Amino acid sequence: MLQMRGITKRFPGVLASDNVNFDVRAGEVHTLLGENGAGKSTLMKILYGLYQQDEGEILLHGEPVRLNSPADAISHGVGMIHQHFMLVPTLTVAENVALGLQSGRAPFSDLKNVSKRITELSRSFGLHVFPDEYVWQLSVGERQRVEIIKALYRDASILILDEPTAVLTPSEVDDIFVIFKRLAADGRGLVFISHKLKEVLELSDRITVLRHGRVTGDTTPAQSDRHDLARLMVGREVKLAPDAHAVQPGEPLLVIENLFVDGDRGKHAVQGLSLEVRSGEILGIAGISGNGQRELAEAIAGLRPSQSGKITLAGHDTTRCKPRQIREKGLSYVPEERMKDGAVGEFDIKENIILLNHDKEPFCSKGFLQFGTIAEHSRKLVKAYAVKTPSIDTTTKNLSGGNIQKVIMARELSAGPKVLLASQPTRGVDIGAAEYIHERIARQREKGTASIVISEDLDEVMALSDRIAVMFDGRIMGIIPRKEATRESIGLLMTGEQQHGAKQRA
Amino acid sequence: MVDSFAVLIIVSTIASGIRLATPFLLASLGEALGQRSGVLNLGVDGVMLIGAFGAYYTVLQTNNPYLGLLVGIGVGVIMGVFYGFITLYLQAEQGVSGIGIYLFGLGMSDLLFQKFVGTPRPILPFMPLHFPVLSDLPVVGEMLFQHSIIVYIAFGLVPVMGFILKHTTYGLNIRAIGENPEAADSLGVSVTATRYSAIIIGNSLAGLAGAALAIELGIFQQNLTNAMGFIAIALVYFGAWSPKGVMIGSLVFGLVQAIVLQCKTFGVIPRSASDLAAMAPAIITILALVVVAKRFKQPSALTKPYVRGS
């Protein structure tokens, strides 16, 4: 029903899409797999009318079409479920659906009929969407189903699903996959954009792999496995999990006892949390974001006051210490928002690399920065951490997410931490850089570092950790050794259900 | 007899409060509409000033106050086209360009006045309307039914605007664009066109407010509005971006002003303190803002220019 032939799109300096052929048949799920910047979004933005191709043609239902705006795409039956939901939280579900539609009673809105139709659609596809609820009241999973309703309401025969599982829990993913399969069975064509190999293999009928704007593979789940797909994506062999050099854990370096931390809205975000991380081990903290992980990380780093409880870092009570004092006791912190809290985008790389030590010898002498020493140190780290950059004088924000994260890792790990706290270390980072970052974190075991990795990405937590703690509603629901952990057992804890037999180990 | 005198004073104070509230109401309704669509316009006062001069000069020449109101609206439309071009097409910073509009209006209105009029001459003010039966009612008649047409236009706009925002496609577009313009764009609603229309309507109401003020007072002078446009912006926050809230804010403000005036007339406040007393409305507004406005959330996209794909 859809054919895209020879699509080429150039941006200044980049060939975002290079002679790409892509097609979708009715009733199938066709996956577009690729790293960030591989050209998946560019291709889909062309299909959704947000960009126009420089060369090539698009055929919908056999007719060549020109899509100049989302409105054009919608009228040709193309619907898109955006990764960042395109919903207005202050409006009701019905109002969100009605937005942009020709009203039957123009100029007045016609919410009554819209609501009726929403209820019908919701019932026939099992979406459980209710027209009169306000969007801000809905969970992430529910919001996504509102997006689906929006597309269905507009009679979308081709649905573009842009990383739809990125924000969902494992059980929500299972539910949404059932819905996707139902939509395909209804005769619609689905384009599934993802970089999660496991999900791609589970849902797809066909898979097209993109790299650097070019198609590097056409395959099906039956003909390939995760390693094949990763190779096509990255262009070389990729280790999907770092080699585990299990180290006998030593003494506890980070001990948290009965910690309470307030969130931004006043109520406790962390509620009576206790845990312990030992030298040479990695503790992964899994959980859906918004369950107190950010507040916990900020409390450990001293960026957010703790209401009660105790944090002991390398034998010192750091509960009330300032961030600087905590770092001097041996904490390295890789924050969740790398451009906000991790690095100064306007600074060049060498400035970001010495950011913590810019007032200390040898980088600073009697109040003057020692540029020779700084440059030498930076060059060494840029090389050691394989940061891809033209020079150490490059403005940091011009690097890719993965390379910025490598700069931050270089700074934090070169401090020789006793405790490493890494929050979402590979979010928005391409597979190649993620592999490298994982390798680095894993190697901290041998140096006797106690590491905490907070991540929403369950695969990441399972690949890296020695033990996995699951956070829900500000508490640790359970801590499971990696060998005993399954996606199902962790997924269950993520939704707040206490698992039988999961011991609450501090 | 004392009682009936007191009633008389209260009635006339309320009546003048309603009259004084009118320009604030018009201007802040317009500003509220613009802000709901995500555009802040700090230039209200400047638009009001030019609108006031346009109306004053028209009435001076034609002796037709209704034509004056139309000219006020027309001036607002022109200023709206101008402001929309600056903020939507040139993507200028809204805070600063609004201040620019204000200074432009302040200077331009005075320049035109000096050039074309020079010495202030009074113009024909509005005649109060007379409704059969209603206007002759005791108490209520004087309070509510002996105002000029502009008062009824202003207060009539409150439910009209409430209805448009809540029950029309246009209103839905405005509310959506003020919160999440990307969502609206992705569904084919033109962010620029919708914001442009809201800016033009908002500015025309500001022009109308200026016209109403000049005609009501029957005079024009330099800086006639004396920062009323800024108060109107404050009232939008006070009224939590709803037409009804804006109306309540304007009424409170008008009444406090009327009370201060009344007190001055009767010598309750000594003449030497009258300048201080003139600050009362502003102080009360600030206090009310601090207490009230914090509880409401402003449109998420307010002051943020929309660029597709950014």
Predicted TM-score of the model (pTM): 0.78
Same-domain status, A256 and A225: no
Structural domain of A114: 2-234
**CB-CB: which of B167, B188, B308 is closest to A74?**
B188
Among candidate residues A175, A38, A489, A54, the one with its CA nearest the CA of residue A479: A489
Same-domain status, A59 and A168: yes
Angle at B19 between CA B16 and CA B24, to 5 degrees: 130
pLDDT value of residue A501: 44
Chain B partners of A50 at a C-beta cutoff of 8 Å? Answer: 308-309
What are the tokens at B117? 């009029």
pLDDT value of residue B2: 55
pLDDT value of residue B17: 93
Quick: pLDDT tens for A464-474: 899 999 998 89
Residue A179 lies in a domain: yes
- Please tell me if residue B183 touches chain A, with a CB cutoff of 8 Å: yes
Q: pLDDT under 70 in chain B at which residues? A: 1-2, 271-274, 276-278, 281, 285, 292-296, 309-310
Same-domain status, A393 and A471: no
Phi, psi (degrees; rounded to nearest 5) at B176 = -65, -40
pLDDT value of residue A494: 85
**CB-CB: which of B183, B188, B308 is closest to A88?**
B183
Same-domain status, A98 and A218: yes
Same-domain status, A424 and A410: no
**CB-CB: which of A45, A99, A103 is closest to B189?**
A99
pLDDT value of residue B31: 96
For residue B114, the tally of other CB atoms under 10 A from its CB is 11
Judged against a pLDDT cut of 50, whether residue A506 lies above it is answered with: no
Rounded CA-CA distance A241/A243 in Å is: 6
Same-domain status, A89 and A206: yes
Same-domain status, A145 and A221: yes
Quick: pLDDT tens for A256-291: 999 999 987 667 889 999 999 999 999 999 988 788
Cα–Cα distances (Å) from A304 to A251, A262, A301, A333, A421, in that order, read: 26, 8, 8, 14, 15
Same-domain status, A400 and A491: no
Per the structure, how many domains does chain A have?
Answer: 3
Same-domain status, A436 and A399: no
Which one of A186, A211, A234 terminates a domain? A234
* Mean pLDDT (chain A, rounded): 88
For residues A473-492, one letter each, b for 16 or more C-beta atoms within 10 angstroms of the residue's C-beta and e for the rest, the string is ebbbbbbbebeebeeebbbb
Chain A partners of B176 at a C-beta cutoff of 8 Å? Answer: 88, 91, 95-96, 99
Residue A482 lies in a domain: yes
User: In this structure, are residues A49 and A68 in contact, taking their beta carbons and an 8 Å threshold?
Assistant: yes
Chain B partners of A98 at a C-beta cutoff of 8 Å? Answer: 169, 172
How large a percentage of chain A has pLDDT more than 90?
Answer: 46
**Would you give the distance in Å from CA B26 to the centre of its chain?**
4
Residue A335 lies in a domain: no
Q: What is the CATH number of the domain that holds A491?
A: 3.40.50.300
- Please tell me if residue B110 touches chain A, with a CB cutoff of 8 Å: no
- Which range scores top for mean pLDDT: A31-35, A183-187, A398-402, B302-306? A183-187
Q: Where are the domains of chain B?
A: 11-295
Which one of A389, A415, A441 terminates a domain? A415
Chain B partners of A150 at a C-beta cutoff of 8 Å? Answer: 187
Which residues have a Cβ under 8 Å from the Cβ of A419 and sit 6 or more positions away?
Answer: A253, A254, A277, A313, A314, A330, A331, A332, A449, A450, A451, A452
Q: State whether B179 and A82 contact (CB < 8 Å).
A: no
Quick: pLDDT tens for A155-196: 999 999 988 887 777 778 888 999 999 999 999 999 999 888
Quick: pLDDT tens for A322-338: 999 999 999 999 998 88
Question: Strands (DSSP E) along B109-235, which ranges?
Answer: none
More confident residue, B45 or A364: B45
Chain A partners of B169 at a C-beta cutoff of 8 Å? Answer: 98, 103, 106-109
B195 to chain A nearest CA, in Å? 15
pLDDT value of residue A500: 47
What mean pLDDT is predicted for residues A374-398? 88
What are the tokens at A85? 């939901």
Question: Which CATH entry fits the domain spanning B11-295: 3.40.50, 1.20.1050, 1.10.3470, 1.20.120?
Answer: 1.10.3470
- Please tell me if residue B204 touches chain A, with a CB cutoff of 8 Å: no
What mean pLDDT is predicted for residues A138-159? 91
Same-domain status, A326 and A422: yes
Same-domain status, A219 and A161: yes
A10 burial via Cβ count (<10 Å: 0-12, 13-18, 19+): middle
Suggest the residue from B35, B165, B185, B186 to mutate for an interface test with chain A (most A CBs closer than 10 A): B186
Same-domain status, A100 and A36: yes
Which residues have a Cβ under 8 Å from the Cβ of A422 and sit 6 or more positions away?
Answer: A333, A334, A441, A451, A452, A453, A454
ipTM value for the complex? 0.84
Point out which residues pair with A311 in neighbouring strands. A256
Confidence category of residue A354, pLDDT binned at 50, 70, 90: confident
Q: Which of residues 195-234 of A touch B (CB under 8 A)?
A: none
Phi, psi (degrees; rounded to nearest 5) at A138 = -90, 155
